[in-house]
Structure 1
């Protein structure tokens, strides 16, 4: 039986807050271990999106309707789907509180809330997104709008931005820049359009191997790169974007610069969701000072509450926030939560793996795979080179892997495949 509006029972063995990539994977796996009726997923949203596809929708390379499933269809039959909005964590007493339902007690908790897209942190941006020229591939309706804006632009200034906060899929703001440039070039208007990529970071990408390859794209295609530059305000009437200039530590210098735009694509600032920010305000040991779920970076277990784990974008782990990272985190979380349920200690470690297939045109991509130590590549080739194979994997293989593997609790990242392809000499 699925719960759709109210909590009909007061206790479950495992509660999962969030029904996205990580939450769905955990629900699928542990419904098979504990029994579906002993698992509850708290997720008010009725629609589940394959979010890595939004960039391709924005570039006209995928259709939005191919990325959509109902949340009920993604979760295993018999799991308790609770649509009530969570109002407060009470980890000291193993309880969750809701705005319109009685509390739910749990034995074990997995927090998988993702992040909140904070368009509101940029002055005038929420309203500007409804005006011509301003777009963002991070929400479905604006992903579709992005392609319309790209199609309609014939000349002028195209600005692409990357925020001065953590962000989900950090490669996406530059991917859509490359895809747009390729579209304009193939449609013979590129010579009329000035393109700039404006990032708060000090380099085009954080891993030097891939940064070098991406800089070749930037330079050969005439894209202006502005580092340590952060969007803070949009004036849709004047079609102006205001950026603050940052120092080497990404702190504001007090200087700003105003740029005219005909197309403005915004990579939004991101933060923990409100209920986690409120936990931070209450000084809960569940989270750090900003509201990211406080977990051990390798075991994903909360530092204070041993029966609580975090997975995905909401955790304070240092890895890039991508679906690929979630799949590898899931490998560790599954083993560790199973061990803790059995009364033992965590037995597995997340290796920090993340991946970002950097689409650079309509049929090529750079398949960046890495952790904090540098590249961690699956294929026995140089993945920093643009290839059709990488685009094929991104466009056709990875969506199927997501729907049939990750959210069903089977795909745990490419670690085993990587070792096989590297004859056991890779981590």
Structure 2
């Protein structure tokens, strides 16, 4: 894989020529370009900017603010303040890297260039695509007109996450609906986490008997991994949360507070629609790859960056890598997955840049989904999305609700995120697991 001396030499010649040519601007060419300043992009760019030196790495990221998105559930549930979720992007991008504060508009892997929103081009020797995934509120009829009012909110957007708690506090009775779409999404447990927090909130207010809590998922299971699906089914039943499988939200009538679902699957009602009145509606929007990726030569048929699931190297273009939500890696799209992926990608890419002919480091599909079920209660799902096998860090059964798991997720991991992950020094709990669960007890 890494016998790429000719590529590295040719790439270095082109890189230096562009830098010193009188017809090219020095700021337009870099050894490495990272598209995306989210958790995955920062984890990669921070490390490699330090390894490669000043101005050898560029980060293409239009946003001035970086959000720690795993905290949004806590904000929507009224357990944390929104101010804890974000920091200025300029404080997080490594000082050795060049921040290009624009959106990517086109990727041309044949020419080794990224075209920016203003039409200018950035050349690269190596490219890492970590652009995330796009929230598609327009994919549901009427949602764009209803979101943020009419009792409709979403923890997936910094614009609407605070509305979740506000609207939940206003509920006095009726139907509270929580949805999960048919498309791949980031943090696949989040759509149901807020349902359990809402249930707890209604109980504390003494109105739970007046509210119907309904979870609608377009999928055929409440969670992809059987061990945790069994746990969540039990929790939902014990909290009187009504789980409706194969129901995909297709329309929101905000003015009349009605939600319409299409029945999926192969059952007797497949293809029919069901309209439900609501007092509160939490929507997980469908999600999709960004057009500049989907329309490029680096995308697979589904629009995601087509990479080897073990090495994270592109299946056609050897100087292109991808990780995180925009990649084709068949595992859950979470920050935990991005941390493990970044460790693999950085080793493989650095070995390639340095011309080392060594075996590739491989990613095993590890991901984690902390399923908040109440104040101080959490099911800590850890598994390989490739095999469906649990990879639990601790010796106790993490499918059980546990106060320690809640503390770890709500208090400890946010600090790890800001102080280690975005700085490129956190690779996930694999090392810790050798001490805390050496016998792989679960």
Query: TM tier, shorter chain?
Result: over 0.9
Q: Structure 1 stretches of 5 or more lacking a match?
A: 1-6
Q: Which residue of 1 aligns with 2:77?
A: 59
Deviations 1:86-107 (A, max 9, x none): 2211111211112315311111
Counterpart residue number, 1:33 = 51
Partner residue of 1:353?
Answer: 366
Check if 1:370 corresponds to 2:388: no
Residue deviations 1:314-350 (CA, integer Å, cap 9, x gap):
0011100000000110111111111111223562011
Contact 1:36 1:76 in 2 (8 A): no
Residue 149 of structure 1: SS of its match in structure 2? Answer: helix
Structure 2 unaligned regions, length at least 5: 1-24
CA drift at 1:254: 2.3
CA apart distance, 1:132: 2.2
2:91 alignment partner in structure 1: 73
User: 1:156·1:194 contact (CA, 8 Å) conserved in 2?
Assistant: yes
Return the alpha-carbon distance in structure 1 between the equivalents of residues 415 and 89 of structure 2: 17
Counterpart of 1:309?
321
Partner of 1:4: none
Deviation at 1:394, TM superposition (A): 1.0
Output one character per residue of 1:225-277: Cα deviation in whole Å (capped at 9) or x when no partner: 1001100001111211110000159xx93211111111011011111112112
Q: What does residue 28 of structure 2 align with?
A: 10
Please say if residues 228 and 248 of structure 1, whose CA atoms lie closer than 8 Å, have aligned partners that are also in contact. no
Query: If the length of structure 2 is used for normalisation, what is the TM-score?
Result: 0.91
Distance 1:42 1:385 in 2: 41
Match of 1:188 in 2: 206
Deviation at 1:9, TM superposition (A): 1.1
CA distance in 2, matches of 1:131, 1:165: 24
Larger Rg: 2
Matched, 1:260 2:277: yes
- Match for residue 231 of structure 1? 249
> Paired residue for 1:269?
286
TM-score by length of 1: 0.94
Cα separation, 2, equivalents of 1:245 and 1:195:
19
Q: Secondary structure at the match of 1:331?
A: helix
Matched, 1:217 2:232: no
Map 1:27-426 → 2, pairs under 5 A: 27-248=45-266, 253-279=270-296, 284=297, 286-343=298-355, 344=357, 347-371=360-384, 372-423=387-438
Shift in alpha-carbon separation, 1:338–1:101, aligned structure 2, 3 A? same
Q: How many Å separate the matches in 2 of 1:102 and 1:152?
A: 49
Q: Which moved more, 1:411-420 or 1:19-28?
A: 411-420
> How much does 1:422 deviate?
2.8
Task: Judge conservation of contact 1:85–1:99 (CA < 8 Å) in 2.
Answer: yes
Runs in 1 of length 4+ with deviation above 4 angstroms? Answer: 424-427
Q: Is the contact made by 1:157 and 1:260 (CA closer than 8 Å) also made in structure 2? A: yes
Residues 294, 225 of structure 1: alpha-carbon distance in 2 compared, 3 angstrom cutoff: same
Q: Hey, what's the Cα distance between the residues in 2 that align with 1:264 and 1:180?
A: 11
1:178 & 1:49 partners in 2: Cα distance?
Answer: 23
Q: Is the 8 A contact 2:392 2:437 kept in 1?
A: no
Q: Which residue of 2 aligns with 1:21?
A: 39
Distance in 2, matches of 1:314 and 1:243, equals 27
Distance 1:107 1:424 in 2: 43
- Aligned mates of 1:365, 1:234 — CA distance in 2: 31
Cα distance in 1, alignment partners of residues 248 and 175 from structure 2: 17
- C-alpha RMSD of the superposition: 1.6
C-alpha distance in 2 between matches for 1:206 and 1:383: 16
Inter-partner Cα distance in structure 2 for 1:425 and 1:257? 45
* Offset at residue 82 of structure 1 (A): 0.4
* Contact 1:84–1:101, Cα closer than 8 Å, also in 2: no
Kindly state the Cα deviation for residue 165 of structure 1 after the two structures are TM-superposed: 0.2
1: distance between equivalents of 2:294 and 2:424?
29
Tell me, yes or no, if the aligned pair for 1:233 and 1:243 is still in contact at 8 Å.
yes
Residues paired across the two proteins, number? 414
Q: Provide the rounded CA distance (Å) in 1 between the counterparts of 2:32 and 2:348.
A: 14
Instruction: Measure the CA separation in 2 of the matches of 1:348 and 1:88.
Output: 29
Instruction: State the Cα distance separating 1:78 from its structure 2 match.
Output: 3.1
Please say if residues 150 and 255 of structure 2, whose CA atoms lie closer than 8 Å, have aligned partners that are also in contact. Answer: no
- The equivalent residue for 2:22 is none
